[in-house]
Amino acid sequence: MSRSVEEKEEQSGALYFVYEGAREELPEALLQEIEAQKLEWLDAGEFFESSFESKDRIIAHGSLLFLKKVLRKAEAESFSLAILPTPKQPKLARLLGLSGVEGSLLAFLGSVEPQPLDLLYAEEEPVFFSALVGEAPPLGLQNMALNEDLERGSRLGLFFRAFWSLRGLRRVLAEVTTAKGQTLKTAITGALIFNREANSFAANLLQESSYNDGQLRALLISPLSVVSYLHHLTVSIYARFRQPSLPDSVGLIKSESLTIECDPPLKISVDGVERGETPMSFRVHPKAIRFCASESFWERNHPTQSDKETLRVDHLPKEDEAKEVIRKHLPILTHASEEEYKELFTTLRADGKLSSTFVILMILSTLLATVGLFLNSASVVIGAMLLAPLMQPIVTFSMGLLRWDGSLAYGALRTVSVGVVLVLLSALILAALLPFRELTAEMAGRLHPSLLDLLVAVVSGIAAAYAKNNPKISGSLVGVAIAVALVPPLSTAGIGLGWGDWMMFYHAFLLFLTNFAGIVFAAALMFMLLGFSPLHRAQKGLIYGVMMVLIVAIPLTLTFRQMVRDADLLQRLERQEFRVEGTRVALNNMLLHHDKIDRLLCDLLVSRPLTTSALKRLKDRIERIAGEPLEMECSQRIRF
């Protein structure tokens, strides 16, 4: 039989065990422990009819609904509160950090020092874990009914379950108002509101080390596309994919209070139990109760205070854009926001304009590249690549082509054309003035374009468009300029004009056209994937881009096939061991040149010098292996 509240000790306060239901329903081990700890007994009726002093301590045991009533009484009367979860509340035990406590939980909860704890309310109901507004997969999967079977399911299963729910997701107009009167009008599928780390998926997104700061967290879910939704699922479910920033599909609001209104209204569940629909208000009561919990709990919920509201909602659709997206199905690819449009297009238009700076830099980079080609200096040629501003208007042209924007495309194409003419004329004049006619290795390296060069151009175009859209990595454009090398092949073509060598001009200029076509097509495709043009508008520009690539791919395919044949022939000749007039001959350092006639340059490794007749026999055998006549330039190396 429990003693009355009036019999409490005045000095240290009383320690009570408050339970829901009949005492006989409590586990035998718990009953014995309560007797051993000499706790005061109070059933639910006695507890709610009594009043307590601040020095008293209550250990509560029962359902979540019962515990919420105890929380409200603890806030009103300021007594210390501890919670002993039932065997059916393992998630609550983990939340309070009691799963890892060794020894008697009752003894621990009766002696541990209480600390102030915030309480989150949904209207008048305290929230233990979180409140779910609408649908917010996968965050809502851990909130739906606090279902432990769901938590034990594999993460891959949860991923597919959340992805499958995409079919039924619908964005609705939402108006969110914070404690300081800031208002956000957007479109969401749902939201998760919480004020402590009760949901591991939400914790994966936030990466916060501490809560209990007087503010709630609201994660607003608004998938921009199927791709962004998949990214959001991956980051939420798999902690190893955590990122410093939120996924594009998620917005975050931190505030003391929040009111959510939706059109049409969305259903709301609190701690897995349905509680009506929007509009609904949520508010944190700072340091509302004195709470007893484990050290691990207080590591994540160390008492602090912050009055600084946070709104990280840049990627969520705003007002007019929100009204537009709710009428449409979720696209496969993300559409860029109005701010992203304005920022990128302003930069691209500036890049596509012809200016005196562009002209001066093009001439200087051409002179530098041409001298580097004559000097056979790779470092000088690389310096010219860095100086040349030709990449920017080409990327601008790709956007103009993608969106079929005449002013953007024609302006950029004019700038590119002027740049090409400047390079050819500058290189031509310099080649005509210099008294050298020797083809260097740096020049020769620009005379054999193939499909591999087209692949380099495509990858560079993708990188250029991605870097252009992300100011944080815009410095990567320097690396792209080096990789794709636009000015050196043009300079080589200009040297060919200066020498009157039309084949040299043709092959070098073909390499430039390869780079140009690859960059334009790949950059346009990347811009479309980044959401800067819907597919129906991008189709025409992409078709022209594909046609450009196919046109340059025809001669490149022939060159590539020749490269494959040459590699095969050289490999067979290298493995072949010849014996001519009793002398063993091996071929080393072989090169094949295709000019007016095919030439094989090589070293002959022999034990004694070959006679003229032996060399002719060797040539005949090599031609039989090659299947075509060859002109040979050889030097003999004698091996003793």
Same domain, 484 and 365: yes
Burial 557-595 (b: 16+ CB within 10 A, else e): eebbeeeeebeebbeebeeeebebeebebbbeebebeee
Give me Rg for the CA atoms of the chain: 38
Among 85, 112, 139, identify where a domain stops: 112
Is 440 inside any structural domain?
yes
For residue 102, what pLDDT band results from cuts at 50, 70 and 90?
low
Task: For 84-99, give the secondary structure using H, E and C.
Answer: CCCCCCHHHHHHCCCC
Same domain, 296 and 430: no
Helix (H, G, I), strand (E, B) or coil at 270: strand
Report pLDDT digits (tens) over 17-31: 998 988 878 888 888
The secondary structure of the chain in percent helix, strand, coil, rounded to multiples of 5, reads 50, 20, 30
Beta partners for 188?
172
Same domain, 53 and 148: no
For the residues 528-539, what does the mean pLDDT come to? 78
Among 292, 325, 358, identify where a domain stops: 325
Q: What is the pLDDT of residue 9?
A: 41
Percentage with pLDDT > 70 across the chain: 89
Report pLDDT digits (tens) over 412-423: 999 999 999 999
Say if residues 514 and 457 touch (Cβ distance below 8 Å): yes
Same domain, 598 and 545: no
Domain count, the chain: 4
Q: What is the pLDDT of residue 579?
A: 86
Quick one: tokens of 193?
A: 């509101």
Q: What is the pLDDT of residue 127?
A: 93
Pick from 44, 82, 46: nearest CA to 66: 44
Work out the mean pLDDT of the chain and round it to a whole number.
Answer: 84
Is 117 inside any structural domain?
no
Same domain, 80 and 150: no
Higher pLDDT, 425 or 344: 425
Same domain, 596 and 550: no
* Of the candidate ranges 32-36, 107-111, 473-477, the one whose mean pLDDT is the lowest: 473-477
Say if residues 426 and 363 touch (Cβ distance below 8 Å): yes
pLDDT at position 164 over 70: yes
φ, ψ for residue 513, nearest 5 deg: -60, -35
Among 275, 299, 325, identify where a domain stops: 325
Whole-Å CA distances, 68 to 75, 121, 214, 479: 11, 10, 19, 60
CATH number at residue 225: 2.60.200.40
pLDDT at position 151 over 50: no
- CA atoms of 410 and 397, how far apart (whole Å): 8
Beta partners for 384?
none
Whole-Å CA distances, 328 to 135, 170, 229, 318, 529: 18, 9, 16, 15, 18
What crossing angle do the helices spanning 391-403 and 502-529 adopt, rounded to 10°?
50
DSSP codes joined into one string, 140-192: GGGTSS--HHHHHS-HHHHHHHHHHGGGG---EEEEEEETT--EEEEEESEEE
Same domain, 143 and 39: no
Report pLDDT digits (tens) over 481-520: 666 678 899 999 999 999 988 888 998 999 999 999 999 9
- CA atoms of 75 and 285, how far apart (whole Å): 9
Domain span at residue 219 reads: 125-325
Say if residues 134 and 222 touch (Cβ distance below 8 Å): no
Same domain, 237 and 187: yes
Q: What is the pLDDT of residue 473?
A: 59
- CA atoms of 543 and 541, how far apart (whole Å): 5
Helix (H, G, I), strand (E, B) or coil at 20: coil
Percentage with pLDDT > 90 across the chain: 29
Same domain, 342 and 275: no
CATH number at residue 59: 3.40.50
Is 499 inside any structural domain?
yes
For residue 334, what pLDDT band results from cuts at 50, 70 and 90?
low
Whole-Å CA distances, 558 to 51, 69, 555: 93, 81, 5
* Of the candidate ranges 231-240, 365-374, 377-386, 396-405, the one whose mean pLDDT is the lowest: 231-240
- CA atoms of 100 and 94, how far apart (whole Å): 8
Is 80 inside any structural domain?
yes
Helix (H, G, I), strand (E, B) or coil at 620: helix
pLDDT at position 571 over 50: yes
Quick one: tokens of 465?
A: 């468009």
Pick from 69, 17, 7: nearest CA to 38: 17
For the residues 143-161, what does the mean pLDDT come to? 58
For the residues 41-66, what does the mean pLDDT come to? 90
pLDDT at position 148 over 60: no
Whole-Å CA distances, 331 to 33, 226, 529, 575: 60, 6, 11, 56
CA atoms within 13 A on the CB side of 152: 4
Q: What is the pLDDT of residue 252?
A: 92
Same domain, 71 and 144: no
- CA atoms of 547 and 251, how far apart (whole Å): 41
Helix H or strand E encompassing 238: none
Q: What is the pLDDT of residue 260?
A: 96
Same domain, 152 and 275: yes
Whole-Å CA distances, 547 to 158, 227, 234, 519, 542: 44, 28, 37, 13, 9
pLDDT at position 439 over 60: yes
Q: What is the pTM of this model?
A: 0.65
